Each structure stands twice: as structure tokens, then as C-alpha cells.
């Protein structure tokens, strides 16, 4: 004898499976459409990064570092000013112009930051850290305005775990794909003492290329607690390709008036 309840269960189960398949198909179609819509903008991002790398032979810039402890963002516990020199064929080097405050923070925080930047900008490592589709999955989220500039907000997900790669959002110029702002979390802690590092970085157009103007990094560790590093960049002097393959030295560029 056929159980009437079981005869009702089968068609209901079949309908549920069909609904599930339809929902999956709709989501897949939307994802493909989103990827297709994102592609032109992402191509601009890759092109912008490639153009910067090709044309920027080197620069010098003054960097002002301030380290804050806990919730206090008014009274830095350590301050350092450095003259940074970047060369495409060798990466970054530093000359410390002045420093004050906690020797522990200067050594364990700022010293590690400079060492990390020096290592990351070496040619063999730089290619693995740049914001391109070689290192990230990118998806355009929508339009936005940053510092008066029309931008596209783009979600970034690193393709591998690295302290040089971030999971978060970048804002890029809607016209040429050059980066304007980054907010993200490092996909790997820089050391066993540190937790995940939250990073924010702003850029301005300096001599036609996007250059960092301000950055903030927030991290925590059992040794130091929550630590915030605030960085201001000023006085760029850049060496660019002159269009014929040779170098062109570009004079000092102020940042406050450049957007």
C-alpha cells in the first residue's frame, strides 16, 4: 500500500532541487556579468601600474613617522624623520634625519617598518607586491568620490598569503585606473609578535604618477599592545623616463596643491 505522505514528499523534494538549481544559475550568471563589467576598469588598473613601473626610475622623498600607543592619537610615543631614496634597480634606502621618543618603539616598530619596505621594494620582491591582477582577484564594487575625484571602488582579494598583500578595497581614478586610496588588512602578519595590520593609504598625482601622500597602519601585539603608525610624505624629487628611453630629473613637487 502506497503511503500518501511519501507521494507528496517526492514532488516537493524535486521542486526544491529545481529551485536550488535555478538560484545557483542566477547567481552564476550575475557573477559572470559582474566580471565582464569589471574587466575594462581592471585592465586600466593593470595598465596604470605598468606605466608607473616603466616610467618611474627613482625618487627621493621625506617621510615623517609618528607612533601612537593605544587610543591616544594626539601624543606620539616616537617620532622619526627619514630621507627615502628609491631606485628601480635596487629598491629603497634610508637616511635617518631625526628621531625622538621611545627607543623600544623606534627599534621594534619603525626599524621593522623600514626593513620591510626595503625588502619589499627590491626588484625580485616588488613584482609580487604590486596591485595588479597577477597578485589579486579584483571586482568593481561601484562609483565613489574621493578628495573630489570621480573613482571606482574595487574589492581586492590576494591570490596568496603575504605580508605585502592586502584584502580590502582600493579606489582608482575612473578615467585612467590610477590608485587614489587603499584600505585593507594584510593577509599575513609581518611577524609572530604582531596581529593583523590594518592599512590605509592615500595617493596624489605627482608629475603624472600616483604617489603616496599619507598612510596609517594599525596593529597589535602581546608585547606592545595596539600601535598606530602615521606617515606623511613630502618633497618628492623624481627621475622619470624622458620619452626616448633616457632619464629625466623632475624637481621638487609639493603635495598639498596636487590632486
In tens, the pLDDT along 45-95 reads: 999 999 999 999 999 999 999 999 888 888 999 999 999 999 999 999 999
Examine the pLDDT at 135 and tell me if it is beyond 90. yes
CA atoms of 231 and 201, how far apart (whole Å): 9
The pLDDT assigned to 259 comes to 31
> Which residue did the predictor score with more confidence, 119 or 25?
119
pTM of the model: 0.79
pLDDT per position as a tens digit, 14-44: 776 667 666 655 544 444 555 566 799 999 9
The pLDDT assigned to 258 comes to 34
The H-or-E segment that residue 116 falls in is helix 111-120
The pLDDT assigned to 4 comes to 53
CA atoms of 21 and 86, how far apart (whole Å): 54
Query: Residue 144 class from Cβ within 10 Å (0-12 exposed, 13-18 middle, 19+ buried)?
Result: middle
| Domains detected in the chain | 38-253 (2.50.20)
The pLDDT assigned to 21 comes to 64
Phi, psi of 256 (to 5 degrees): -65, -30
Please, which residues bridge with residue 194 across strands? 221
Task: Calculate the CA dihedral of residues 183, 186, 192, 194 and round it to 10 degrees.
Answer: 0
Rg of the Cα atoms in the chain = 24
User: What is the separation of C-alpha 131 from the centre of its chain, rounded to a whole number of angstroms?
Assistant: 7
The pLDDT assigned to 225 comes to 73
CA atoms of 63 and 222, how far apart (whole Å): 28
Share of the chain above pLDDT 70, in %: 75
Three-state secondary-structure class, residue 133? coil
Asked if 67 and 229 count as a contact pair (C-beta separation under 8 A), the reply is yes
pLDDT per position as a tens digit, 146-167: 988 999 999 999 999 888 899 9
pLDDT mean across residues, the chain: 84
- Phi-psi sector, 101: left (phi>0), alpha (psi -120 to 50), beta: left
Amino acid at each position: 500500500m502506497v503511503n500518501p505522505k511519501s507521494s507528496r514528499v517526492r514532488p516537493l523534494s524535486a521542486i526544491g532541487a529545481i529551485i536550488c538549481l535555478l538560484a545557483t544559475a542566477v547567481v552564476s550568471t550575475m557573477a559572470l556579468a559582474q566580471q565582464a563589467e569589471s574587466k575594462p576598469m581592471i585592465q586600466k588598473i593593470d595598465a596604470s601600474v605598468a606605466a608607473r613601473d616603466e616610467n618611474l626610475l627613482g625618487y627621493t622623498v621625506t617621510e615623517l613617522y609618528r607612533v601612537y600607543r593605544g587610543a591616544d592619537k594626539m601624543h606620539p610615543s616616537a617620532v622619526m624623520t627619514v630621507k627615502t631614496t628609491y631606485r628601480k634597480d635596487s629598491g629603497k634606502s634610508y637616511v635617518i634625519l631625526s628621531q625622538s621618543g621611545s627607543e623600544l618603539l623606534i627599534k621594534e616598530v619603525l626599524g621593522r617598518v623600514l626593513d620591510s619596505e626595503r625588502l619589499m621594494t627590491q626588484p625580485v620582491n616588488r613584482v609580487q607586491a604590486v596591485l595588479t591582477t597577477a597578485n589579486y582577484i579584483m571586482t568593481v564594487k561601484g562609483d565613489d568620490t574621493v578628495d573630489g575625484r570621480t573613482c571606482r571602488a574595487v574589492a581586492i582579494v590576494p591570490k596568496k598569503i603575504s605580508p605585502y598583500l592586502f584584502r580590502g578595497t582600493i579606489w582608482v581614478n575612473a578615467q585612467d585606473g590610477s590608485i587614489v586610496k587603499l584600505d585593507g588588512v594584510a593577509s599575513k602578519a609581518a611577524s609572530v609578535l604582531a596581529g593583523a595590520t590594518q592599512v590605509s593609504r592615500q595617493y596624489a598625482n605627482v608629475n603624472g604618477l600616483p604617489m603616496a601622500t599619507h598612510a596609517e597602519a594599525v596593529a597589535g601585539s602581546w608585547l606592545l599592545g595596539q600601535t598606530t603608525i602615521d606617515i606623511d610624505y613630502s618633497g618628492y624629487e623624481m627621475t622619470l623616463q624622458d620619452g626616448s628611453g633616457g632619464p629625466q630629473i623632475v624637481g621638487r613637487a609639493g603635495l598639498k596643491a596636487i590632486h
